[in-house]
Amino acid sequence: MSTSRRTLLAAAAGLPLAQTALPANAPATLRYDLGLAVIHAGWDGNKCYVHSRAGAIPPFTGGNQSRFPIVVMTTQKHFVRGNDIFDGLEDFRSPDLGRSWQGPVAHAGLQRRRMGPGIEVAPCDFTPQWHAATARLLGTGKTFWYKDNEQYSASPSDPIYAVYDTRRRTWSAWQRIKLPALPKFKNCSAGCTQRVDLPSGDVLLPVYFRPQPDNTDHRVTVLRCGFDGQTLRYLEHGDELELEPKQGDGLSEPSLTRFQGRFYLTLRTVDRAYVTSSEDGLHYAPLRPWRFDDGRELGSYNTQQHWVTHSEGLFLVYTRRGVNNDHVFRHRAPLLLARVDPQKLVVLRDSEQIIVPETGTRMGNFGVVHISPLETWVITTEWMQQPPPGGFEKYGSNNRIFCAKIKWSRVNRS
């Protein structure tokens, strides 16, 4: 076991934390400490928690009367002998910066819905995020349809949303974002994405869709939506980004951030990850593969990447080949954090840090949450499918929900 893996797992067990990390090439004034905690552990061998992501309600606002943020983490169970067979969503809640967690709690508004004989639709791939203009916790995601509890190939997919009621500690019933009645939007998803909320309150939500409903090739665009605290309403969408030549099923699971006035978009494909940037969040420069600053490809493929954004530095969280992880499904662990050069759109290799060590399981479905001006969290889950050689027992995997805590040395004003 490597020193970094041993140290972080020790931290998760409540032992003293590792040293302060200073990314190479970062401004000398910006440092961060890394911590690791376990929010939940244990499973029944049949279903495991996956897609754990959180949003934070700031102190003294939005129904939170505490001096601490209230962190609400959604997650859902997945049937390990199926392919993307999800139950409805549940949540955990922490009022004390993760020292304690209440839950899991299932909510009627976030469950599967019966659509016909043997047919159900589930909300999934959900990401909560604070919407400052309306003082609401707004979550977005997608739908999966099932027939007799198997994937229903003839079904559509829709981007969805739900709103959290802080005082009642419950979620509104999930709703579809009503898109233009065009064939290309019959199969459209906002699953596993990061969005940007504009000062006006408008929401920039990246989605992926099929321009031809019967073709699995996906494109990506960014929706501009209005949000009044209850309804997320489509206003327009930007460039329709595509890959030429085609790769696998195209582009998917895009994540968006804004750093020092410019927008940055990271995208998944089967073979590699891509990045682009924009002045307005809707119209983008040509896609380029993610690379390190030494010119080599990043090595992230067939899973998502997400942004950690500090006002003084832009960072990427990702998984990749080449970190002693050939036994992990699609190399989806460990989780790595590195600084990005926003002008060159490259990852600074010397700044790379393991923030969640690999434990034999995949961890590629994760989320980032801004907790406070001095703290950012990355949350991921041990997905208990495709066991590595020797089985999960060899690594002690137990469907743990990990929380990597990034504690900044300087105030994050983004």
CATH number for the domain spanning 313: value is 2.120.10.10
The answer as to whether 258 is a domain residue is yes
Residues in CB range of 414: below 8 A, 6 or more apart = 258, 259, 309, 310, 311
How many domains does the chain divide into? Answer: 1
pLDDT along the chain (414 residues), means of 10: 47 42 58 98 97 98 95 98 96 98 98 96 99 98 96 90 98 98 95 98 98 85 99 99 87 98 98 98 98 98 98 98 97 98 98 98 98 99 94 94 98 95
Residue 413 covered by a domain: no
CA gap 345, 405 in Å, rounded: 25
**In this structure, is residue 349 part of a structural domain?**
yes
Q: What is the model's pLDDT at position 29?
A: 79
239: region left, alpha or beta (phi > 0 left; psi from -120 to 50 alpha): beta
Asked, for residue 150, whether it belongs to a domain, the answer is yes
Q: What is the pLDDT of residue 284?
A: 99
How far apart (Å, rounded) are the C-alpha atoms in residues 47 and 91? 16
Distances (CA, A) of 320 to 133, 154, 259, 270: 36, 33, 24, 13
Tokens representing 241 are 């980004």
**Given this model, what pLDDT does residue 129 score?**
99
Residue 137 within any structural domain of the chain: yes
The pLDDT of residue 248: 83
For residue 9, the model assigns a pLDDT of: 57
For residue 241, being part of any structural domain is answered with yes
> Looking at residue 244, what is its pLDDT?
83
**Residue burial 241-255, b: 16+ Cβ < 10 Å; e: rest:** bebeeeebbbbbbbb
pTM for this prediction: 0.94
The pLDDT, as a whole number, for residue 2 is 45
The answer to whether the peptide bond before residue 245 is cis (omega within 30 degrees of 0) is yes
Structure tokens at 5: 């893996």
Q: Report yes or no: 361 and 383 within 8 Å, Cβ to Cβ.
A: yes
Q: What is the pLDDT of residue 378?
A: 99
Domain-embedded: residue 35: yes
For residue 369, the enclosing domain spans 3-408
The answer to whether residue 414 sits within a structural domain is: no
